[in-house]
Structure 1
Amino acid sequence: MLLGNHADARPFTTLDGSTIRELAGPVSLATANQSLAEATVPAGGATTEHFHRTSEELYYVTRGRGRIRIDGEERPLRVGDCVVIPPGARHKLLNDGDEELAILCCCAPPYSDADTVLIEG
């Protein structure tokens, strides 16, 4: 059995600029086909627009509010929203709120910097 806890997950910054606490995946609990992490973006912040060559992502908002842009289409985000981001879709997360935006992010296959292509420089 593999069991982890959020409090034990060390934060790190991904290529897109978000702060990640991986709960399951290559960095933490060894998963074979997916990863689960909490990503946070500070108030007024945003990630760098990017896409993943092979990973499909699910974003589930747990705290704060903001906007998601996928392939040029932008929508508001609030607690309880879930977004599906297909492989190859250009996306950017923006925090237009006054508190930290937190999402649970599930990637299949697991997140890797090698699978991430930055659009903005």
Structure 2
Amino acid sequence: MHIQNLADQSPFITKDGSTIRSILDSTNAPVANQSLAEATVPAGTSTDRHYHKLSEEFYFILEGTGTMEIDEVEREVGPGDAILIPAGAWHQITATESLRFLCCCAPPYSHDDTYFE
């Protein structure tokens, strides 16, 4: 059994500009096929528009509101919304109110699998 506590994880900036704290990934657990992190985006800011060639992502909004754009389609998002971001889909999230959300990636998140325009 492997248990990690979010409070024990140090935040870092991802290649797209969001701040994340890894909950479970290969850096802190014997994880092979996915990663789970808490992400934050301050009010009035956005992640850089990007895509992942390999990773499919789920976002689950815990706090705040914003706009999610996937392949040029936008939708307002807020607490309780679960978002599927297919591998290869261009995406960006913009915070109207500070956002806090869970991000699950399979295969695990990697800076090397983050691409920009």
Letter in 1 for 2:66: G
The secondary structure found in structure 2 opposite 1:102 is strand
- Residue number in structure 1 paired with 2:114: 116
Deviation, structure 1 residue 118 = 1.8
Partners of 1:28 and 1:74 in 2: how far apart? 34
Structure 1: which 5+ runs fail to align?
Answer: none
Calculate the TM-score normalised by the size of structure 2.
Answer: 0.97
Calculate the TM-score normalised by the size of structure 1.
Answer: 0.94
Partners of 1:29 and 1:9 in 2: how far apart? 12
Deviation, structure 1 residue 30 = 2.9
Equivalent position to 2:104, from 103, 106, 109: 106
Count of residue pairs the alignment pairs up: 117
The secondary structure found in structure 2 opposite 1:23 is strand
- Residue number in structure 1 paired with 2:46: 46
Sequence identity (%) = 50
Partners of 1:30 and 1:94 in 2: how far apart? 32
Partners of 1:118 and 1:12 in 2: how far apart? 19
Q: How does 1:1-121 map to 2 (within 5 A)?
A: 1-97=1-97, 100-119=98-117
Partners of 1:27 and 1:66 in 2: how far apart? 30
Question: After the TM superposition, which segments of 4 or more aligned residues of structure 1 sit over 3 Å from their partners?
Answer: none
The secondary structure found in structure 1 opposite 2:112 is helix
Structure 2: which 5+ runs fail to align?
Answer: none
